[in-house]
Structure 1
Amino acid sequence: MDLGLNFKIKMGTIAENLDSVRKRIEAACERPGRNPAEIMLVAVTKTVLPEQMNEAIEAGVTQIGENRVREAWEKYPHVRPVTWHLVGHLQTNKVKRALQLFEWIHSVDSFHLAEKIEHESAKFERTIPILLEVKTSPEPTKFGVPVGETLEFVKKISAFGHIQIEGLMTIAPFTDEEAPIRKSFKTLRELRDHIAKAKIPGVRMNHLSMGMSHDFEIAIEEGATIVRIGTAIFGPRQT
């Protein structure tokens, strides 16, 4: 398995790349005996043009992931109907605009942010599915709730009526070494199981959003239900 910054992928058309990714998902599911239908593929489109996004949608993509609210808003009118996921860090001053576009938020990492989402969702009279971002590796640039504080965080926001906790999200260390990547994903799965056992009213632990182009196969082996894949579908990111 090719990992990390130097991972290789033979880029073809977007449809060909999607087919390759789906086959890799199926192969990764076979190893632990999982059903590929359990895996939600979110095509991450940071810096990807609307024309390319539409090409992916024509090839069967139904879930789009964006990192930035502003970029998503600029693209949205030009993209065919699809479910939009916010997978990047969300600032509280962008929550209102985010809720007008995104159907899932993967990156809730503080009480203040959860409270703001609850407040704005109530204005829209909607309940939005969210995932709690957990910091499972020590890089200082990463966001996320510390592993040891996540259960109490879940309890603290579980009574909010306009957010629905659906599970957890993490980003593994970006490295060529498999062991720390696998450890990060295993940590999230074990944390999910621990929270699920607490049986907190109104809280669902149905989803683990983990795994990107360089490590999604490991994530699937460790229990991912959502994988966020950009480069393996659209090619190297344009800056």
Structure 2
Amino acid sequence: MSSILENRMLQVEERIKRACERSGRSREDVQIIAVTKYVSLDTTIDALEHGLRHLGENRWQDAQAKWEAISSNEQLAAEGGQPVWHFIGSLQTNKVKDVIGKFTYIHSLDRLSLAQAIDKRASQLGIIVPCFIQVNVSGEDSKHGIEPKQLFSFVVQLQQFKSLQPIGLMTMAPYEAEPEQTRFVFRALRGLRDELQQRTPEVQSITQLSMGMSNDFEVAIEEGATWIRLGTTLVGKEEE
């Protein structure tokens, strides 16, 4: 398994570098989140041992066993291999108590009730939670996220929550056989971030863009992605 993962990592790294070169960006500007929702605990640990420090999961029910096993793995801790967890799926309010304090980043903040729940739990724990605001740029009914026209008022409303820090925007593009057809989605999210910084200078912390997955991450990088979420193309997908 390790050799397969190593080959995938090398291929992904080369594709990232080329996308950065094409768009005049520094490779250091792009971070990889290894999405481990479709792989086993063993494969997840293998990813960690190969230096993939940022792990993404969609559902607490699926991530719990991995989180508990890895968090109690003394060997990983001794080797400095404990991951930074990213919650990248839609977060139900009643799961906030399980997720906050375990996952460093939340990529799916899309409503005030969720912000309130995150802020309450984070305050109880004495932490500040960095969050990405999920925006439904494509307008698909199947996608979560706020509408672009709601973004600015939403950001202003978030200022009341002191244990939550919006650090960027997140979106998911439609799956396209030709990745180039997703470019408008990523370009629009970058435009929203730029406009947001101009219109609401009090939230200069919103600089990051979480966008791009296995099928379209090169286009996303060319359009300014700072975090890409890679599953099948990086760690694979295992049959249940």
Asked if these proteins are the same fold (TM beyond 0.5), I'd say yes
- Determine the structure 2 residue equivalent to 1:68: 59
Q: Contact 1:155–1:200 at 8 Å: present in 2 too?
A: no
Q: Contact 1:167–1:204 at 8 Å: present in 2 too?
A: yes
Query: Per the alignment, in what secondary structure is the counterpart of residue 234 of structure 1?
Result: coil
- In 2, Cα distance between equivalents of 1:178 and 1:77: 36
Q: Contact 2:214–2:230 at 8 Å: present in 1 too?
A: yes
With over 3 angstroms needed to count, the CA separation of the structure-2 counterparts of 1:157 and 1:114, relative to structure 1, is same
- In 2, Cα distance between equivalents of 1:75 and 1:235: 16
Q: Which of 20, 31, 35 is residue 44 of structure 1 equivalent to?
A: 35
Query: Per the alignment, in what secondary structure is the counterpart of residue 164 of structure 1?
Result: strand
Root-mean-square deviation (CA, aligned residues, Å) is 1.5
How far apart are residue 112 of structure 1 and its match?
Answer: 0.9
Mapping of residues 183-202 of structure 1, within 5 Å = 183-202=184-203
- Determine the structure 1 residue equivalent to 2:227: 226
- In 2, Cα distance between equivalents of 1:147 and 1:238: 37
Q: Contact 2:100–2:122 at 8 Å: present in 1 too?
A: yes
1:16 counterpart letter in structure 2: N
Q: Contact 1:104–1:130 at 8 Å: present in 2 too?
A: yes
1:189 counterpart letter in structure 2: R
Query: Per the alignment, in what secondary structure is the counterpart of residue 202 of structure 2?
Result: coil
- Determine the structure 2 residue equivalent to 1:174: 175
- Determine the structure 1 residue equivalent to 2:92: 91
Q: Contact 2:101–2:122 at 8 Å: present in 1 too?
A: no
120-129 or 170-179, which moves further after superposition?
Answer: 170-179
Query: Per the alignment, in what secondary structure is the counterpart of residue 232 of structure 1?
Result: coil
How far apart are residue 206 of structure 1 and its match?
Answer: 1.8
- In 1, Cα distance between equivalents of 2:238 and 2:194: 34
- Determine the structure 2 residue equivalent to 1:19: 10
- Percent identity of paired positions between Structure 1 and Structure 2: 37
Q: Which of 35, 50, 53 is residue 44 of structure 2 equivalent to?
A: 53
Q: Contact 1:66–1:85 at 8 Å: present in 2 too?
A: yes
- Determine the structure 2 residue equivalent to 1:9: none
- Determine the structure 2 residue equivalent to 1:147: 148
How far apart are residue 23 of structure 1 and its match?
Answer: 1.1
Instruction: Give per-residue Cα distances to partners, 1:117-161, cap 9 Å, x unaligned.
Output: 111111111100000000011221110000111111001112310
Instruction: Give per-residue Cα distances to partners, 1:75-116, cap 9 Å, x unaligned.
Output: 113224110000000000000110131000000011111111
- In 2, Cα distance between equivalents of 1:110 and 1:43: 26
- Determine the structure 2 residue equivalent to 1:6: none
How far apart are residue 179 of structure 1 and its match?
Answer: 4.7
Q: Please list every run of 5 or more consecutive structure 1 residues that lacks an aligned counterpart in the other structure.
A: 1-11
With over 3 angstroms needed to count, the CA separation of the structure-2 counterparts of 1:133 and 1:237, relative to structure 1, is farther
- In 1, Cα distance between equivalents of 2:144 and 2:204: 22
2:132 counterpart letter in structure 1: L
Q: Please list every run of 5 or more consecutive structure 2 residues that lacks an aligned counterpart in the other structure.
A: 71-75, 77-81
With over 3 angstroms needed to count, the CA separation of the structure-2 counterparts of 1:202 and 1:160, relative to structure 1, is farther
TM-score by length of 2: 0.91
2:213 counterpart letter in structure 1: M
2:212 counterpart letter in structure 1: G
How far apart are residue 19 of structure 1 and its match?
Answer: 1.5
1:55 counterpart letter in structure 2: D
Query: Per the alignment, in what secondary structure is the counterpart of residue 123 of structure 1?
Result: helix
- In 1, Cα distance between equivalents of 2:56 and 2:172: 14
142-151 or 201-210, which moves further after superposition?
Answer: 201-210
1:150 counterpart letter in structure 2: L
